[in-house]
Structure 1
Amino acid sequence: MIAIQGQSQSTRASEQQLANQFSKEGWICNRGVAGNKKSFDVSQSFVHCFCPPSYYGNRCEFMSDRLTVFISFKNQTNGSSTGVIKILALLVVLINHTSTVLDRHEVHFTSTLDNYKEKQKFYFIYPRPHQLRSNTHNYTVRFEAYQLHENESIEFLAVWIYPVPFNFLPSQRLAKVLKYTQQSQLALNHTCFTRYNPCLNEGRCHPIMNKLNEIHSYWCECGNNSYGSHCEFKDQSCFISSTKFNYCSPTSLCRPQYDHYGQKPLCICSMNSYGSRCFMDRQCQMKIGQNSCQNGAICFTKYQHYNLIDAYICQCPKSYFGPTCQHRSGAIEISYDNENQSVTLSGDQISATVIQLFDISDREELNLKKQVLYKDSLPSRLLITSESVIHPVFGLINLYTNQSTIQYHLLYTSSTAGSSLNLTLRFTKKNYCPHSHDIFNLRNETYKIRNVVAKYHTLCDNTTSKSSPLLCFVDDDYFCLCDINNTAQCFLYNKKFDQCKQCLAQGQCIKGDIDTPSDYLCLCPRCHFGSKCQHNTKLFSFNLDSLISPDLLSSSLVKQKLSLSKSFAQTRYPFSPFIIRFSTRLIQEQKAAEELCKFVKDNKQIDLELCGFRKSTSECLSNEFALLLFVKTSYSFFALYDENNWPQSLLGLAFSQPYAPSIPPQLSLLVKNVSLTVDFAHFTNEVEEYLAQACALICSKCMGIGHFRNQCQKKIMFAENVERFAMTLKIILQYPINFIVFITNVNICRMI
């Protein structure tokens, strides 16, 4: 009994000793993790603390300082950047006239991903002991920009250096725009451009981009064997032992004293390599055929410091989706019957068509999965894909007519899951879904809804139905289908799925893709037109607007060009736009315009003057991009009007032009009193032969020769008669003229 009691007391003592030991180690490292460190030659062990980045000290008792950095890159040169621009951000402290790197971060701007306009955010977390808290130690943030080319070469671009203003604050913020200017545009009297090189040991002198006004302010780019403010110190850490074997990979750059508080070199990797020493190859290298995407997709490297292995994205074809385009989309291929395709069953003209695909939720509601908008009627063939392997189980077509009515037609129903569906569509009474008001002739009558709903099942019954049974019908809140048991299955249907509020003048707004705010169509009331029904011709008695306004919503190519020219004439641009279409959406608008101007300048010796460019708001395919280019002068307009002045590709991509822009009225000739029986071909040829090649400058104000309009001293604003106007036109135009002939009795013509 005594032995057992003694044994239990010793056990308790050892347990208490272990508890005291582990309880001490649990709190002794603050927010860190404690570990026992024991040497081989010493029997006694001691506690070692592993601190998180936000703490430091022997017991993790000190909190690290933090600097939040926001940057964006802005290329102020005319040339477009290709490849990848790497920004190496370094937090540097000056100790005893020697720069020491405390923390670093890498940011990549990629032209293919078009992330140059995005702001990049990251943190510098660094310990700051008491001896470094004095004002004598200057903290700076240095940004070094490198151009990564596809041939694995690395080119140094520029450097920016900004001070950290308040050393005593534990948390600060730095927001900068890194503006890059090529050296050819800098001052020639800068220190770096003189014969004397202030940098030693083959270092390269670079102006500091945020101090370009200071011609004696520079920074030295040191090689792989030196460091210091002037590369005055030698360092062989980029070479391993005496074999001169590179510490970094052959395609990378090695920078001594850049890593681990200046104790290790830093490797700056090329475009297709990564890792601490850049010996690992990236999975996405389209140039050598190394593509991790499937089913014909294109991969693009997406440089992420937190995910170095799978740092790429895939641009999937239209029929595939997923991280690597591994899934085939549920596809619905529709062949549309051309017979009576532009009118409904009641004979009304179709103004817009909306296709809606639904799934049925657990609450018996129609859950919208896909919505597609088509102006006028449907094309003869179309393909609708969804971001799911299985297509939705229910399809509906809404026809909007010129009488402001909506007709519903059942597209398909699918009781079994499937990945593809082929349909041949025709609008007939069989797939027409009427409104319950029209079925019971209650459109203009007051009634109790429960009395009507009780009769819904009779509409699906073959025996009780007076007319042919229905496949579907709608009311104000529900969409009903007739099943195989002749029973009405009704689901809650939100009719506001395809409605929006973007139109003016009480126009009817029809919504397209639910994820694209700009995908909508306005059906304008009488005497209104425009993309938002913003134009009104109601007050015009008789003019060109009132003549062509009914054709602005037409689907024909000729009327589209007429509508485009008219709507363009009401913008701030003087000429119709040139439309170029690419087969990919990863297009940078500004770079495409700049490359076109550079090509015409270098190859055709023509200075193009652009006054704007933007993405087209017209509907394109999911993998297409349409760019509108607006020129400033008639000289630039006719330079681009000649297809021989265009390059074969822009940004390395082929493009197409759907049609040439319409020649604007200011480049046309107005001729009065022309007979209706005139031969226009003979007439235009005679005028072209009569007019000479342009060799004189004509003022558009007074029709005088030899000066511009803004230099004109005369007060006349009109051509008082046709004869004076004809005398002014006795020159040769450099380009062909487009003639607009009007029949009029007006004797005074105002110059446009």
Structure 2
Amino acid sequence: MMCQIDPYTSCKNGGQCIPIDEHMATETKFTCICPKYFTGDRCEIADTKIILSFQNDITLSRSMIVHFIQVLDYSSHERATTVKTIPIEKNSLIIYWSRPFHIVLFEFFNKTYYLTVVQKRYNPSQVIVKTLNSSDRCKHISEVFNETIVNLHLLRRIKYYHLPCQKHSSYLSCFYDDIHFCLCNTSSQHQHVANCFEFDHNLKPDCFGQNSCENGAQCFQDSPTCAPTSMCTCPTCFYGRRCQFSTNGFGLSIDAILGYHILPNVSIVKQPYVVDSHDHAGLFSGVLSVIMFQSKKLCEAGCDLYLLISFITTVFTVILVALKLWILVLAQMALTTNRSFLGL
């Protein structure tokens, strides 16, 4: 077996080697299941890493849409979209992306766009550090043209699109209308011109008709066809990998606290520490109660009955919490197929 003969050189960066059936008519003897942030036939390509920070004059929203645009030729392009959430009390974000791209646009949910990355050639495994400021915001045509030009028909209006790039080249990097997105570039003659391409501002987030999200959640995937990854953006009071869980009718429940920490299709021993350590504090408290219950001085003081009741209550509570957690873990890990009892 190829994986057994050469387990260290077959797959790189900790990839899992899976041998291919020797009876299959293929030259490939194995395939690699790559870990997170690595791709390629042998997991040899690291994902592009974008380290993004925001200046204080930018009003941030809790989540933002990221558009990756790949220029295929002079007349067409391919767009992939994902959603990222900024951690609480932070103004920075790290994004990993495995597919080729030439343009990166950040879109806040109020339809505000920021031009983040523009590159003529795509170089894989690069690290891009960018600080977004107000000058990176892409303006609507109503902000760069007067009302007369804005009200013109598109065929007559678009011939004026090079003027803002020439007049405001120092602070205008991009602008858009209802159909196009335009970048202010410098031509070979060192002139500032508008390079425009079609951009659907109302693209339906349903993974191009392959939406597996539940409860009205939005679905985003990293490629229009044969997408390797997709994600769900849950509405209020829903969570989970597919937004299949609800917090309606609950207060500070285990579902809401630990739901996002449980990894699907991963064994319990490889789950995050927060998942398998929830009841350690309760068990520790119960053990302390037992130790204190052995003290004769406390028994003489009349505390023995109190400690006994406290111990029984603690153990009973821990058992109930552990049972609830295990039901949640098994359901989230996709080991439970009949989930109707979860709503009871």
Is it true that 1:356 corresponds to 2:67 in the alignment? yes
Q: SS in structure 2 opposite 1:733?
A: helix
Is it true that 1:285 corresponds to 2:4 in the alignment? yes
Q: Which amino acid aligns with 2:247?
A: S
Is it true that 1:531 corresponds to 2:238 in the alignment? yes
CA distance in 1, matches of 2:61, 2:22: 50
Q: Which amino acid aligns with 1:656?
A: P
Q: CA deviation at 1:448?
A: 3.3
Structure 2 counterparts to residues 142-291 of structure 1, below 5 A: 282-285=1-4, 289=7
| Equivalent residue for 1:733, pick from 310, 313, 319 | 313
CA distance in 2, matches of 1:690, 1:731: 10
Is it true that 1:456 corresponds to 2:161 in the alignment? yes
Q: SS in structure 2 opposite 1:324?
A: coil
CA distance in 2, matches of 1:531, 1:487: 46
Structure 2 counterparts to residues 77-476 of structure 1, below 5 A: 282-285=1-4, 289=7, 292-303=10-21, 305-307=23-25, 310-325=28-43, 327-329=44-46, 331-337=47-53, 339-340=55-56, 345=58, 347=59, 349-362=60-73, 364-368=75-79, 370-376=80-86, 380-387=92-99, 391-400=100-109, 405-440=110-145, 447-462=152-167, 465=168, 468-476=170-178
Q: SS in structure 2 opposite 1:479?
A: strand
Q: Deviations over 1:37-86 (max 9, x none)?
A: xxxxxxxxxxxxxxxxxxxxxxxxxxxxxxxxxxxxxxxxxxxxxxxxxx
Aligned pair in 2 of structure 1 residues 304, 420: CA closer, same or farther (>3 Å)? closer
Unaligned runs of 5+ in 2: 280-302, 319-344
Query: Between the two proteins, what is the percent identity of the paired residues?
Result: 19
Is it true that 1:658 corresponds to 2:338 in the alignment? no
Residue 254 of structure 2 is matched in structure 1 by 576
Aligned pair in 2 of structure 1 residues 366, 476: CA closer, same or farther (>3 Å)? farther
CA distance in 2, matches of 1:521, 1:578: 16
CA distance in 1, matches of 2:233, 2:267: 31
Indicate the structure whose relative CO is greater, using CA pairs within 8 Å and at least 6 residues apart: 2
Q: CA deviation at 1:690?
A: 8.0
CA distance in 2, matches of 1:312, 1:350: 45
Q: Which amino acid aligns with 1:531?
A: F
Structure 2 counterparts to residues 11-90 of structure 1, below 5 A: none
Q: CA deviation at 1:293?
A: 2.5
Q: Is the 8 A contact 1:283 1:309 kept in 2?
A: no
Residue 201 of structure 2 is matched in structure 1 by 495
Q: Is the 8 A contact 2:237 2:246 kept in 1?
A: no
Q: Deviations over 1:249-268 (max 9, x none)?
A: xxxxxxxxxxxxxxxxxxxx
Aligned pair in 2 of structure 1 residues 691, 354: CA closer, same or farther (>3 Å)? farther
CA distance in 2, matches of 1:479, 1:293: 41
Unaligned runs of 5+ in 1: 1-281, 533-563, 581-615, 629-648, 663-687, 695-729, 739-752
Q: Is the 8 A contact 1:334 1:424 kept in 2?
A: yes
How many pairs does the alignment contain?
Answer: 275
TM-score when normalising by structure 2 = 0.61
Q: Deviations over 1:100-155 (max 9, x none)?
A: xxxxxxxxxxxxxxxxxxxxxxxxxxxxxxxxxxxxxxxxxxxxxxxxxxxxxxxx
Structure 2 counterparts to residues 524-673 of structure 1, below 5 A: 529-531=236-238, 567=247, 576=254, 618=260, 626-627=263-264, 654-658=270-274
CA distance in 2, matches of 1:365, 1:512: 20
Q: Deviations over 1:459-505 (max 9, x none)?
A: 1014xx4x954111111111111111211010112334563397999
Q: Deviations over 1:578-634 (max 9, x none)?
A: 999xxxxxxxxxxxxxxxxxxxxxxxxxxxxxxxxxxx7x5x8xxxx7049xxxxxx
Q: Deviations over 1:372-414 (max 9, x none)?
A: 3113468735242324xxx4222211122xxxx1111111111
TM-score when normalising by structure 1 = 0.31
Aligned pair in 2 of structure 1 residues 415, 650: CA closer, same or farther (>3 Å)? closer
Q: Is the 8 A contact 1:318 1:385 kept in 2?
A: no
Q: Is the 8 A contact 1:579 1:658 kept in 2?
A: no
Q: Give the superposed CA RMSD.
A: 4.6
Q: Is the 8 A contact 1:481 1:490 kept in 2?
A: yes
Aligned pair in 2 of structure 1 residues 397, 438: CA closer, same or farther (>3 Å)? same
Q: Which moved more, 1:288-297 or 1:357-366?
A: 288-297
Q: Deviations over 1:346-365 (max 9, x none)?
A: x4x50321222212233523
Q: SS in structure 2 opposite 1:483?
A: strand
